[in-house]
Structure 1
Amino acid sequence: MTIATTEGPLKRGAVQPGERALAPDLARGTMLLGIVLSNTAFHLWAARRGPSGWQPVDGSWLDHAVQFTMIMALDLRIYPLFAFLFGYGMMQLYLRQTAAGTDGRDAARILRRRSLWLIVIGLTHAALLMSGDIIGFYGVLSLILGVVFLRRGERALTWGIGIGIALILLVSAGPVVAALLRGELGTFGDAGAEPGFKAYAPDEENWLTAAGIRLETGLFVTFAAAPLTLVGGGYVLFLLGFRAARHRVLEEPGRHRTLLRLTAVLGIATGWLGALPAALAHTGVLRVPEDMQSESGALTVLRDVTGNSAGLGYVAAVTLFAQWWTTRRPRRGATAVAAVTAVGKRSLSCYLAHSLLFAPVLAAWGLGLGAHLGSATMALFALAVWLVTVAGAYALERAGRRGPAEVLLRRLMYGSRRA
């Protein structure tokens, strides 16, 4: 969605008034492939876990290659991308409403209603299918950050981003540096903690018992992890999305080409280098104490912190591709680009469809296929699931129909008449 501009003629490759920008939807569609791949690890509920408690450590060389790639490029790198796009889309919606003549307070009220319904949808999704849901999580963040920053100026956003970065360094990097100075870096973490995938209950054979565990995890993620994210500065990507939307970075990439190139190169390089030690340790190439590899260990902290840079880098890379593709003649691969973009336009529906196709087939309470797959075959299964949603979204696009979840959310936001 875009808004009209009164700043004069737009440059070649920019989105014209009334058009919908390609980059945000293309990024969302690509992001969902990353999410469905990164979520494969907890579905391998019978696999042997290492100190990290997340990625399996068994399998063939191909499985290890997939695990290495997941840790380097996807784990805790796709969700920052989602956070940025979520904030970008939220500010876009606000700007579109106010540009159409809606009072700023009324537009903010619509977005608050949207956030509340996202929390409801997220908790329902967690209880029924997937407790690692992020819809409710970002519903809480958007509710709070919308109240504090949505109608504030650039100065407030700059201060919020600066404080958030300082909090990330203090909360995440501070303890690691302190342990390093004390010579205790190898004991930083807890390799004996319960594996993280247990909170998703994929190995529970009784659906009701699994639903109870999932709901408990969903409530924690939504109402505890989200506020803790605010305290720890994890909201920075959200506010960067706010700011980028105000400057129409994704709609007018030609005006921001230098920024996008620097962000793509430095962001992806920082993210991958930050995850490299964890990936090498997981595959046994780098020998370090098990505590360092645990979910709270130093290598995991380094991987997670640098994931924010990778997320921004991915957004910038997709935007540069979108700008290049829209300005070239002839445009090759138009059908593929249109299909992935259709997924981005229906990202909520496709995200929920992933769980609908994953959980009943893979979980122990369903067909239990997750016990018989490895990291490589699970990645192929995830790719197939994503391609199914691509086909479905493209069919809806050709029919001129929105996704079912988007239709429902619009009705909840605006009421049946306006929707």
Structure 2
Amino acid sequence: MDTTAGRGPVRVGERALAPDLARGFMLLGIVLANTPLLLYGDDSGAPPAPADVVAQSVIMTLIDRKAYPMFAFLFGYGMVQLYQRQLDAGSPAVGARRLLQRRNLCLIGFGLVHAALLWDGDILGSYGLLGLIVVAVFLGRRDRTLLRAAAVLAVGHVVVLAAAVVVDLVSDGEYGITPAIPYVTDYSGTEQTSYPHSVLARSTDWARGLLVYGLTPLVIAAVVLLGCWAARHRILERPLDHLPLLRRAAVAGLAVGWAGGAGYALAHFQVIQVPYAYAWLYEATQATGALGGLGYVAVFALVAARYQLRERIPGPVAVAVIALGQRSLSGYLAQSVINAPVFAAWGFGIGAWMTSAPTALFAVGVWLITVLLAEVLRQRTVRGPAETLLRRLAYRSPSRTEVREPR
């Protein structure tokens, strides 16, 4: 039995700028990617309005399949940060591991409740499951092991994708997804007019998809491992020490990520003809999107480096976004609290008639609301409610709600 007390939750003043800045903007990408999935009313087959084409194209090119890899990288980064803080405070390794696993189990529980009540596109459960595996198998391994495993997973993703292409070509597209599939996917429960029925539908789909979305995207697991490796070298805490790496990652990652997204958008609107495009091009964007997500993380690290180099204090806008990043779990859940009852048929039902362009504007508005709420909490030196609950459950002891801000 462990007798050495580990340290409690990290204080806000101890946090690095780059991860929280990235998390804050990551939530903008997530809400822009998720909100269109709540649209369900247009099945007429009529061509979209020009504004909707622009909105969809921008989201496909710049955001789709990039926000979640950002989350994956920062998730792995945060796990290693927490583990190292526990060790530095004198906690035994086994105790630090148990803390991480409790947090991961709590994330799965949060995901179940989130999906059942509001949104079955939840990612918390999948990342909690992935976190359990990463801690059990990879935590404490050598850098070389992490990088090799990440490379194997990334190559495995490409191999699976290539196999799918071959099957599609050999079968003459019999197993592919035709270009007739709409951009907007119907999520269970969205069209349900009965809220209890929608809860059942969402819960069932979440449970069924937990293993699929938690384990099968091999490239996402690779990104988590890269985040673990980066945290060991404190790349985001000390961006000035890693400028060449960050610059290369930003340029190459965004170039590949945007190119993949643009190709998918062009194929979606049939500007270019790609054989069985939806059978493999969409999955290919998961790989290119992962690189794009890493590119975005590198960009925010470079922004943090600029602040450090010039010894500047972030302005009020950046401070508010950072405040949201420090409360990213609450910010993520708040998106569903606002969006689900507004768009779903069991709520106000605007998803039946809204289109892509106004939905994107609505999503930006939701993000701005969460930024403002996070700033209010920052000024009151209060954690986000979800973060407070997670800490109380994971640390098994009451955690102070009030936190100290840096002076």
TM-score (norm. length: structure 1): 0.87
Residue 79 of structure 1 aligns to a residue in which SS? helix
Out of 58, 67, 76, the residue aligned to residue 65 of structure 2 is 76
C-alpha distance in 1 between matches for 2:322 and 2:22? 8
> Matches of residues 4-403 of structure 1 in structure 2 within 5 Å?
19-48=14-43, 58-176=47-165, 179=168, 184=172, 189-191=176-178, 197-229=185-217, 232-288=218-274, 291-293=276-278, 297-328=279-310, 334-403=315-384
1:164 Cα shift? 1.0
1:304 Cα shift? 1.9
- 1:156-204 deviations in Å (ceiling 9; x for gaps): 2123112212211211233325656x595x6661227798733332112
Letter of the structure 1 residue corresponding to residue 364 of structure 2: L
C-alpha distance in 1 between matches for 2:151 and 2:67? 22
| Gaps in structure 2 of 5+ consecutive residues | 1-12, 401-407
TM-score (norm. length: structure 2): 0.90
Aligned residue for 2:8?
A: none
Aligned residue for 1:13?
A: none
Residues 149 and 288 (structure 1 numbering): CA distance in 2 closer, same or farther, change over 3 Å? closer
Alpha-carbon contact 1:35-1:78 (below 8 Å) kept: yes
How many residues get paired? Answer: 388
Letter of the structure 2 residue corresponding to residue 317 of structure 1: V
C-alpha distance in 1 between matches for 2:42 and 2:350? 12
Alpha-carbon contact 2:39-2:355 (below 8 Å) kept: yes
1:214 Cα shift? 0.7
1:286 Cα shift? 1.8
C-alpha distance in 2 between matches for 1:64 and 1:129? 28
Aligned residue for 1:12?
A: none
1:272 Cα shift? 1.3
Root mean square deviation of aligned Cα:
2.3
Residue 39 of structure 1 aligns to a residue in which SS? helix
Alpha-carbon contact 1:199-1:213 (below 8 Å) kept: no
C-alpha distance in 1 between matches for 2:51 and 2:186? 25
Aligned residue for 1:414?
A: 395
Residues 288 and 388 (structure 1 numbering): CA distance in 2 closer, same or farther, change over 3 Å? same
- 1:7-60 deviations in Å (ceiling 9; x for gaps): xxxxxxxxxxx742100000000000000000122111113498xxxxxx7432
Q: Give the share of equivalent positions with the same residue, in percent.
A: 44
1:330 Cα shift? 5.9
Aligned residue for 2:6?
A: none
Alpha-carbon contact 1:68-1:282 (below 8 Å) kept: no
Residue 400 of structure 1 aligns to a residue in which SS? coil
Letter of the structure 2 residue corresponding to residue 189 of structure 1: G
1:223 Cα shift? 3.2
Residue 216 of structure 2 aligns to a residue in which SS? helix
Residues 58 and 344 (structure 1 numbering): CA distance in 2 closer, same or farther, change over 3 Å? farther
1:281 Cα shift? 2.0
User: Which of 196-205 and 361-370 deviates more?
Assistant: 196-205
Residue 122 of structure 2 aligns to a residue in which SS? coil
